Amino acid sequence: MASPDLFALGRSALNPFLYADIGPPDGAMTMTVASMFGRRGEDPWDEAARLARLPPAAAVASLAAMIVSAPDCCWTLAEATPMAERLVMLLPAPPSVADRLAGARRSPIERLLPRWQFGPLAAIALGLFVVVAVAFVWLTVADTWGSHGHGDRMRTVDPFARGSTR
């Protein structure tokens, strides 16, 4: 299922893992984990999320097997295992039971928007409310002052005044 957040990939917790080089530090091979998953025909974020849910030992074994079976691979399983251990350490920790329960208690709006967005949204809503309230009060009071101010005298029409059309 697609994420409702269009910009989630830019700040994904999986990015350090997905964009890490697979090869050893000497730079013999520069291929990222995401490109390896792509070459295997798998969705990189789905596969990284699957590995993040596994226990660390199972994730290392699974990733090492994927590295060895990747196209153009030149490593044995014994060489790929330390690389997989280094890469699995970049995966985010799986959520705890307390985190999952806290997420279940959030409102639907809180689930759609990240927590940091509520501060600015609340400030904008409060500011808009204040502007509308001040404008309403100003228009109401200005209308009242304009019709009953000191400069206004009540003018009555005298039907017997000069120039009358009677």
Structural domain spans, the chain: 8-94, 108-166
Residue 111 has pLDDT above 70, yes or no: no
User: What percentage of the chain has pLDDT greater than the value 90?
Assistant: 17
23 pLDDT above the threshold of 50:
yes
Mean pLDDT highest for which of 4-8, 63-67, 73-77, 107-111?
63-67
Average pLDDT over residues 135-163: 65
Q: What pLDDT was estimated at residue 1?
A: 44
Q: Mean pLDDT in the chain?
A: 74
Tokens of 143: 């209308």
Residue 45: what pLDDT? 87
User: Which of residues 20 and 107 earns the better pLDDT score?
Assistant: 20
Q: Give percent of the chain above pLDDT 70.
A: 59
Looking at per-residue pLDDT, the higher value among 30 and 26 belongs to 30
DSSP letter at 134 equals H
Per-residue pLDDT reduced to its tens digit, 90-107: 888 766 545 555 555 666
CB 23 within 8 A of CB 79: no
**pLDDT in the model for residue 74:** 78
Contacts from 112-119 at CB under 8 Å and sequence distance 24+?
A: 112/4, 112/5
CA-to-CA separations, 103 to 66, 97, 112, 140, in angstroms, rounded: 32, 10, 11, 46
Cβ-contact 50, 17 below 8 angstroms: no
What's the rounded mean pLDDT across residues 68-72? 80
pTM over 0.95: no
Is the pLDDT confidence value at 132 over 90? yes
End-to-end, the C-alpha distance of the chain in Å comes to 84
